[in-house]
Chain A
Amino acid sequence: MVRNPKLIAVLHNPIAIAESIQQRKRWEQFFILLGWFSLLVALLTLVVLVADLLIRGWPLLNLKFLLSPPSSDPEEAGILTAWVGSLLVILVTIVVAVPLGIGAGIYLEEYAPKNWLLDFIEINITNLAGVPSIIYGLLALGFFVYILKWGESILTAGCTLALLILPVVIVTTRESLRAIPVGIREGAYSVGASRWQTIFDHVLPYSMGGILTGIIVGISRAIGETAPLITIGALTFITFLPEAPIKGEFPYISFNWLWSPFTVLPIQMFNWVSRPQEAFQINSAAAGVVLLVLTLLVNSTAIYLRYRFRKSIKF
């Protein structure tokens, strides 16, 4: 029982209680306003950026722009080779980075013996995520282009970007695996599952939502990368498409496109912006809109997938 009158005054005096609540509510209101303001700054920046691109690029945003190769005449120039290049490079990036990243993440989290070496590797993977992308470009130039002699190809570019996003995929894979409650693992082991079965049947599927988030972040970064691709020698002016992957005659499928020279959207934009003619600025803005839409499409697919995974799994 409280007897101290000072305490009774603050704990049980209705006026003090009402005042205390009111004061705290005011703070809450203040922070809600502050939150709104922060959100507004972030959103407004985005809206202004997109609106600016849209307004300037509007006259060019049509099918012809999408389906024409670049040209020295700004009216005729399009982004066909650029967006096809972007898509193909990202495709290679995904195919390379996702299995490697998830595999490495699973090994490090579930199988690797917990010792100083693991700590050392862990620290370095985290550091790798922060290495500037141009460094990866230099590595790729030395390794893929000069040693493996893959040339300035889509394969080289895809692998370079894969290296770039690999650390992000590995780190988020590990974090998602770690977030699965111990009870789930123990439940699986308790009915006689092996470690691999526990991981493959339970831990991995349940953590897919988190892993996909890592992949989204990685891909969004890769899609806009320019520096490492310029380093490995991406072309800035290319008028022909890579060879189609599907053919009319046997064996119907071809991987020759992997060896094609290429350009990507950000490089195409960069090329146009740096030209003296005013007209190319419009092309650049329009290409910017397309790049944004492309990023958005990739992201929303991934977000949808993540939503599906999250919805079906609840602990």
Chain B
Amino acid sequence: MVKPTEEAVVTQQEPLRKLAEVRDLNFYYGRTQALKNINMPIYEKKVTALIGPSGCGKTTLLRCFNRMHDLYPGNRYEGQILLGVDQPRNLLEMDPIEVRMQIGMVFQKPNPFPKSIYENIAYGLRVRGIKDRALLDEVVERSLRNAALWDEVKDRLKEPGTSLSGGQQQRLCIARALATDPEIILFDEPTSALDPIATVSIENLIVELKEQVTILIVTHNLQQAIRVSQFTAFMYLGELVEYNDTMSIFTKPVEQKTADYVSGRFG
């Protein structure tokens, strides 16, 4: 784990780079508008937390990033989510497969495939037609190491992924997302189905991972947002109420709604 002092130094030295930017985003489930005119940046190799009460649209916003809404009929996007540092492209107009090749996702409940641990991770490469065994081996090991799972499972890569404990399954899902070396990984309340110890290990992992990948995380747990994120967006009723660096959101929020929420007065 990176020590806080070192981290602060790194933050000061490296300039912030926008990896993605949400512009005037509206989203509709059929006729119901779930997101209203969202604007926010996503900074490279930082953790951005999305917080807000249930039904505020934070998961909806997260799922826009890898076009999960395309899977269900009647959903509609308006606006732009620009992806890329040099030549940004609107990912809402890209091929969803291409988007998902660059933006991975970890879900609320661990959802490993009922296949071996190895195949769970290799699958992201297999769908791209990669069959080279040495390459797959390398990726599986690297991903498992990055997900802090290698030492626990290296002797049983052939066992089913579903035989692992809940926390291990979630780290397996993180490894699966890491395998394809995405630009961004989306975490949708990744610890809400886990016990406190597994939660700590996932949180530590997120903190480490931001050295290599940009992270967007939806969380109900405000402490978790403070612990893992550098930037926080507070959402309410489909609108982005306030976006700022995490410290400011929690210590000197501008909006009254934000102040009420982070101090536990509602939600």
Binding site for B on A (CB under 8 A): 1-2, 4, 6-7, 10-12, 17-18, 20-21, 23-24
**Are A21 and B181 within 8 A (Cβ)?**
no
Known: A20-B128, A24-B127. A6 touches B135 (CB 8 A): yes
Cα–Cα distance between A4 and B180 once the two chains are bound (Å): 13
Q: Which B123-163 residues have C-beta < 8 A from chain A?
A: 125, 127-130, 132, 135, 138-139, 142
Chain A residue, CB-CB nearest to B180:
A11
Cα–Cα distance between A136 and B132 once the two chains are bound (Å): 58
Cβ–Cβ < 8 Å partners of A1 in chain B: 181, 212
29 sample A-B contacts, Cβ–Cβ < 8 Å, listed by A number: A1-B181, A1-B212, A2-B142, A2-B181, A4-B138, A6-B132, A6-B135, A7-B138, A7-B139, A7-B181, A10-B125, A10-B128, A10-B130, A11-B128, A11-B180, A11-B181, A12-B181, A17-B98, A17-B101, A18-B98, A20-B128, A20-B129, A21-B95, A21-B97, A21-B98, A21-B101, A23-B129, A24-B97, A24-B127
Cβ–Cβ < 8 Å partners of B135 in chain A: 4, 6-7
Chain B 45-86 per-residue mask, 1 if CB under 8 angstroms from chain A, else 0: 000000000000000000000000000000000000000000
Cβ–Cβ < 8 Å partners of A4 in chain B: 135, 138
Q: Which B233-256 residues have C-beta < 8 A from chain A?
A: none
Cβ–Cβ < 8 Å partners of B129 in chain A: 20, 23
Cα–Cα distance between A18 and B95 once the two chains are bound (Å): 10
Cα–Cα distance between A2 and B213 once the two chains are bound (Å): 11
Chain A residue, CB-CB nearest to B95:
A21
Cα–Cα distance between A95 and B99 once the two chains are bound (Å): 56
A-B contact count (CB 8 A): 31
Chain A residue, CB-CB nearest to B146:
A1
In the complex, the 7 A-B pairs of residues with the closest C-beta atoms, listed nearest first? A2-B181, A20-B128, A1-B212, A11-B181, A21-B97, A21-B98, A21-B95
Looking at chain A's contact residues, is the secondary structure mostly helix, strand, loop, or mixed?
helix
Chain B residue, CB-CB nearest to A22:
B95
Cβ–Cβ < 8 Å partners of A10 in chain B: 125, 128, 130
Chain B residue, CB-CB nearest to A16:
B128
Cβ–Cβ < 8 Å partners of B125 in chain A: 10
Cβ–Cβ < 8 Å partners of A21 in chain B: 95, 97-98, 101
In the assembled complex, the CB of A150 is this many whole angstroms from the nearest CB of chain B, namely 52
Cα–Cα distance between A10 and B124 once the two chains are bound (Å): 12
Q: Which B16-32 residues have C-beta < 8 A from chain A?
A: none
Cβ–Cβ < 8 Å partners of A20 in chain B: 128-129
Cβ–Cβ < 8 Å partners of B130 in chain A: 10
Cα–Cα distance between A21 and B95 once the two chains are bound (Å): 9
Chain A residue, CB-CB nearest to B128:
A20
In the assembled complex, the CB of A267 is this many whole angstroms from the nearest CB of chain B, namely 46
In the assembled complex, the CB of A180 is this many whole angstroms from the nearest CB of chain B, namely 19
Chain B residue, CB-CB nearest to A18:
B98
Cα–Cα distance between A101 and B127 once the two chains are bound (Å): 45
In the assembled complex, the CB of B172 is this many whole angstroms from the nearest CB of chain A, namely 19
Most buried by B among A6, A10, A11: A11
Cα–Cα distance between A11 and B183 once the two chains are bound (Å): 11
Cβ–Cβ < 8 Å partners of A11 in chain B: 128, 180-181
Cα–Cα distance between A18 and B181 once the two chains are bound (Å): 17
Cβ–Cβ < 8 Å partners of B97 in chain A: 21, 24
Cβ–Cβ < 8 Å partners of B132 in chain A: 6
In the assembled complex, the CB of B148 is this many whole angstroms from the nearest CB of chain A, namely 16
Cβ–Cβ < 8 Å partners of B181 in chain A: 1-2, 7, 11-12
Cα–Cα distance between A298 and B14 once the two chains are bound (Å): 72
In the assembled complex, the CB of A16 is this many whole angstroms from the nearest CB of chain B, namely 8
Most buried by A among B97, B128, B132, B135: B128
Cα–Cα distance between A20 and B135 once the two chains are bound (Å): 17
Cα–Cα distance between A20 and B139 once the two chains are bound (Å): 19
Cα–Cα distance between A7 and B139 once the two chains are bound (Å): 9
